[in-house]
A and B are shown apart, each in its own frame.
Chain A
Amino acid sequence: MMPNNKRSNVNTGQEKTLSRRKFMQMAGGGMALLTIPGANIFAREATRVTGDAKQAGRPKIVWVMLRGGLDSMHTIVPEFDPQYRKLRPNLSASFHSPLLPLARGFSLHPSLSTMHKWYQQKSLLPVVAVSSGYQERSHFDAQDFLESGLGNIDHDSGWLARAIAVNNQSALAVSRTVPISLRSAANVDTWFPSNLKDGDQSLYSALQDLYQYHPRMNESLQSGLKVKGLVDDDIVTRRQGNFMQLCKSAGQIMVADKGPDCVMLELGGWDTHNSQGNRLDRQLKQLDDGLATLQSTLGQQWQQTVVMIATEFGRTAKENGTAGTDHGTASGMFIAGGAVKGGRVLGSWPGLKTEQLLAGRDLMPTSNMFGWIGNVLAEHWQLSEQQIAQIFPHMKPYRESLIQKPA
């Protein structure tokens, strides 16, 4: 239902391509600060073999990066592992409602109801104990490493950029600048609504921490947060509003005429050194609501879409002294969408006994994200082995089939 309606709303009159103005109206921002890099994918003539006719059915990819280090053990919970409750006596008791069961004794966090529905519909593949191969503990470097996808950091080349370049496809980053993931390709645009002015909650939290020894600024910040209505429950609504709005815009842009082949979204706020229970309740709800919005906005296109969600690293297996977790190594990732052969939990489980942990503290990685991503690209965009080798020179895709054969 959605795509056709959407498109006729958007692309009225004689316009053959989606003009930037239309695009802005559709994406719904006051656009004073729109970044327009040289290449404008929306004005570009379609030169691909796929052509315009198949637009609605073209396989699309959404890449969602969770910045800050998602605690996978609080998201895809290893309830079956007897060590789990021992390592996390408080966190394991902090869930606000019953966990949502998956296969192999894993469960999803209760905030992830949409994702659980997808799992039951066989449209979701959670992957456990996965890493990018990065082995240190810096957020910045780990994010750069994950975005480069080369087994090292290259600020000028991202894996998604290389993936669209091999087939002359296009991408949009919902961001103010081009993220590393999309650097080095020609057909990349960025977009971010300038009316989305609220600094996100993780910045406010970081500032509250930063100002703890500066009473004057702290007092002002507290009043400011109150004035903005950003207190307690309100925060949740606002934040969801933000990510949901971005997901909605991203979906609308994707289904528009000559919309991009892939979109990158980012969501911060995962660096949960303290009060992790409450924070992840909200964070994951925000993620889940955003994804639900994305699905409904995509409409029929959802059936030809794969969403990949990953984070730079995981967190310590053991909870820390402030009801949180610290920087670790392996985490989880999600592969979702109508095109996915889902309903399974991927990745082998390394165990949580001290000797099974990396350096006695982190969940041990048992698979590499790029192996899974390479597999998705190969199957979903039908890229050849040589093309995948250009994207991930250091990593061969896994053999396991993750994508449904086109009907």
Chain B
Amino acid sequence: MSEQNMKTHSLNRALIATNRFGYGARQGEMQKAQRDPKGWVIGQLKTVEFDPSLPGSDEVLHAFYQYQQQQRKKKSNQNIDFGDDEIPKNFSRKTLQNASADGLIRSIQSSDSVSWRLLDFFSNHFSVTANNRLMAGLATTLEREAIAPNLIGRFEDMLLAITKHPAMLMYLNNERSFGPNSLAAKKRGKGLNENLAREILELHTLGVDGPYSQQDVIELAKGISGWSVKHPKREEGNGFVFRNYGHEPGKRTLLGRSYRQNGMSQGEQMLRDLATHPATAKHICRKLAFHFVSENPPKSLLDKMQQTWRETDGNIKSVMTTLFRADESWIAEPQKFKTPREFVISSYRAFGIREVKQNSFRYSLNNLGQQPFNANSPAGYSDKNEDWLGPSALMARIDWSAMVGGYQKWQKIEKILSTSLGSQVSQHTYNSVMRAESREQSIALFLMSPEFQWR
């Protein structure tokens, strides 16, 4: 084996464009990216669209309430028949399955996969988990209703939309958080819940090393107290509602700044200031660079991104454009080990597949450890190489590749190599793949090759 083969392979810019910044090349994309790699990537910063027939949060909330009502009535009257109005027991689970599959298949089919990478980044940043019957349906609506519409807009608007969304409010229990001196607390003994406020500061904005104290957590929790979700029985409609009688009265102080008492806009102003705080810019820019470029992003890259953040008041498209323009982002050596989601999507893109069975997705991502809407932590899934490169994670990936090799063995391996990696693989990998003892094995080896696993 020559010296050259022993070094980590270096990537050309079309490969970086498609593989590091997008979800891997579909047929013909490598050639398009080749002409102007930076322009190709930046041109993909677009809004993303989901299947419009998927139920929104209003519908999910309504159906959940209806279902509970119907079950209650059924208990007292066995023979009751709701006919077509009956909400099926699996409504929520079906929504979860359909929405999970929709995001994946659209990422696989998209000719703007960079946008889907960005959407998935923020969906994981603002992670909500399908941890009960209601959340199973509701968790899927957050990225569609609060993230996608603001994906190439301002971070501030995204943060507000997120914090007012029933999925986030209910996942982190803010819908029942009431100021200790509010009317609700006095009359009904309700109290403050700091959960959402803490995660906003620790995860969504300033970051765990950010300049905040426990007192700031309480102040923010009070600022957003009364931000709740409509009660379907007592209130018209579904979704977000501000309950003045649950809002903590009085002036608040957050990070040394004071906020007058004026109802909902108190919390809104707090969030706007948090969104544009330099520590937030630092936190999010680093997280973006960590995800899209490298686990040790160059300081010069972070400086450029933060400068853009300041100049544009946190415009996500501008910040991403800065990242993509910076030469530091185009380091020739592969930096990141694909997450299972990236691995599965890029595999299907390489095969040029248009349809994938829902079961197959569910099976794949469950086994690989990254089931959609199921991180079980508001911090989302890990974005660290070492967490996905562990022995059992790797073995699961090998099993999956062996299985997919069985299904896709009629793909022409030379074509896949060229489609997906522009045939830029080491001689050693090329030989291993081409000389595999069977077609299945050659597909599996391609999928498991360092060149396909790293970006």
Contact = CB atoms under 8 A, between A and B. Distances in A.
A124 B224 CA distance: 81
Given A175-B406, A221-B394, A224-B392, A197 B399 contact: yes
Interface residues of A, number: 43
Given A203-B445, A214-B8, 17 more contacts: A32-B359, A33-B359, A33-B363, A33-B403, A69-B437, A139-B435, A143-B439, A176-B407, A203-B398, A203-B441, A211-B450, A224-B392, A224-B394, A224-B395, A224-B398, A227-B395, A228-B395
Bin chain B's interface residue count: 35 or more
Interface string B442-455: 10110011100100
Nearest to A210: B432
A209 B448 CA distance: 12
Contacts of A69: 437
B5 A216 contact: no
Contact of B438 (A155, A192, A268): A268
B80 interface: no
Nearest to B450: A214
B440 to A, nearest CB: 8
* The 4 A-B residue pairs with the shortest CB-CB distance in the complex, in nearest-first order: A176-B406, A224-B391, A68-B437, A223-B391
B69 to A, nearest CB: 34
A223 B393 CA distance: 11
15 contacts: A32-B359, A176-B406, A197-B403, A203-B398, A207-B445, A207-B448, A210-B450, A212-B428, A213-B1, A214-B8, A216-B389, A217-B453, A220-B390, A227-B391, A270-B437
A32 B366 CA distance: 13
Interface of A: 32-33, 35, 67-69, 139-140, 143, 155, 175-177, 192, 197-200, 202-204, 206-207, 209-214, 216-217, 220-221, 223-228, 268-271
Given A32-B363, A143-B438, A221-B394, A199 B444 contact: yes
Contacts, number: 104
Nearest to A230: B395
Interface string B400-444: 011100110110000000000000001011001001111111101
Q: Which of B5, B8, B391, B453 has the most CB of A within 10 A?
A: B391
A270 B441 CA distance: 13
Contact of A206 (B389, B410, B441): B441
A132 to B, nearest CB: 16
A140 B441 contact: no
A226 B391 CA distance: 9
A220 B437 contact: no
A336 B350 CA distance: 42
Contacts of B53: none
Interface in B136-194: none
